[in-house]
Amino acid sequence: MDLEQIRREYLAGGLRRKNLKSDPFEQFQDWLALALRSNIPDPTAMTLATVDGAGQPSQRIVLLKHSDNKGLVFYTNYESQKGRDIVGNSNVSLHFPWHGIERQVLIKGTAEKVTQAESEQYFATRPRESQIAAWASPQSRELPTRQALLNRYQEKEIEFDDKKVRLPDFWGGYRVVPDYFEFWQGGAHRLHDRFRYTRAGLSWQIVRLAP
Ligand SMILES: Cc1cc2nc3c(=O)[nH]c(=O)nc-3n(C[C@H](O)[C@H](O)[C@H](O)COP(=O)(O)O)c2cc1C
């Protein structure tokens, strides 16, 4: 397999300073809207990086469920590896790998739990099977067998019977509050466009970065 020969040019379009919004949240919403329209797979999938107590980073994909100028929200098990990392170090990074439109967005910030009401509202929209699975899966913990997981699922199914599945106390949302955004647009000859936004008081400073 000759991986060295796998390459392509990025020709979809350029990014100019004059076309950028002064507010990175607005810039992000614009790009997200385009990604959603573009038929690329899983446009709301983002890689979340966290760091554990020993300084070891980990990454995994989570789904963006809400975004506004307060931050970007995803839902998970608070007792998972990522949840435990965030308790010790709330600094996180998000990455959207939008290959299909030759763009990527990098975000750095801090993660905080959303309110119980927000989590309850979102949990209620999930299919019942996913709600039961949230109860059944001790996310990131060791399992002896797959059957052990299926047994836990069945127990929870019986427990909830025909009752409403309530929000587990170990499950809910995190809001990533960004203090750093980078918007990357692929360019010809590897001369890509990159712009970094960092907080400067109440506004944002925008700087072009070398590709
Ligand atoms: C496309 C995709 C979407 C995912 N979305 C979520 C999600 O929204 N929340 C979540 O907890 N895990 C999600 N996962 C599973 C995570 O990637 C990960 O395996 C899990 O959260 C455990 O991570 P941890 O052990 O690092 O905490 C998703 C995986 C994929 C491939």
pLDDT digits (tens, 9 = 90+) for 10-69: 888 899 999 999 999 999 999 999 999 999 999 999 999 999 999 999 999 999 999 999
Domain count across the chain: 1
Q: Report yes or no on 51 lying in a domain.
A: yes
State what percent of residues in the chain have pLDDT above 90. Answer: 93
Secondary structure E strands in the chain: 45-51, 57-63, 66-68, 71-77, 91-98, 103-113, 171-185, 193-200, 203-209
pLDDT of 32 reads 98
How far is ligand 1, taken at its centre, from the CA of residue 158, in Å?
A: 26
C-alpha count within 13 angstroms, C-beta hemisphere, residue 153? 13
Four-point Cα dihedral 155, 161, 163, 165, nearest 10: 30
pLDDT of 125 reads 98
How far is ligand 1, taken at its centre, from the CA of residue 195, in Å?
A: 28
Residue 70 has pLDDT above 90, yes or no: yes
pLDDT tens profile 76-89: 999 999 999 999 99
Q: Report yes or no on 95 lying in a domain.
A: yes
User: Which token pair is 188?
Assistant: 């010809």
The closest-lying atom of ligand 1 relative to the alpha carbon of residue 83 is 27
Cα separations in angstroms, 38 against 42, 99, 157, 186, 203: 11, 11, 38, 16, 30
Residue 152 and residue 58 in contact, taking contact as beta carbons nearer than 8 Å: no
Q: Report yes or no on 143 lying in a domain.
A: no
Beta carbon of 86 within 6 Å of any ligand 1 atom: no
Q: Report yes or no on 133 lying in a domain.
A: no
Q: Report yes or no on 98 lying in a domain.
A: yes
Q: Report yes or no on 144 lying in a domain.
A: no
Q: Report yes or no on 1 lying in a domain.
A: no
Beta carbon of 141 within 6 Å of any ligand 1 atom: no
Tokens 């587990």 locate to: 168
Residue 168 and residue 126 in contact, taking contact as beta carbons nearer than 8 Å: no
User: Which token pair is 189?
Assistant: 């000859």
Q: What is the CATH number of the domain that holds 203?
A: 2.30.110.10
Beta carbon of 188 within 6 Å of any ligand 1 atom: no
pTM: 0.96
78: containing domain: 10-126+169-209
pLDDT band at 122 (very low <50, low <70, confident <90, very high): very high
Residue 1 has pLDDT above 90, yes or no: no
Q: Report yes or no on 148 lying in a domain.
A: no
Residue 97 has pLDDT above 90, yes or no: yes
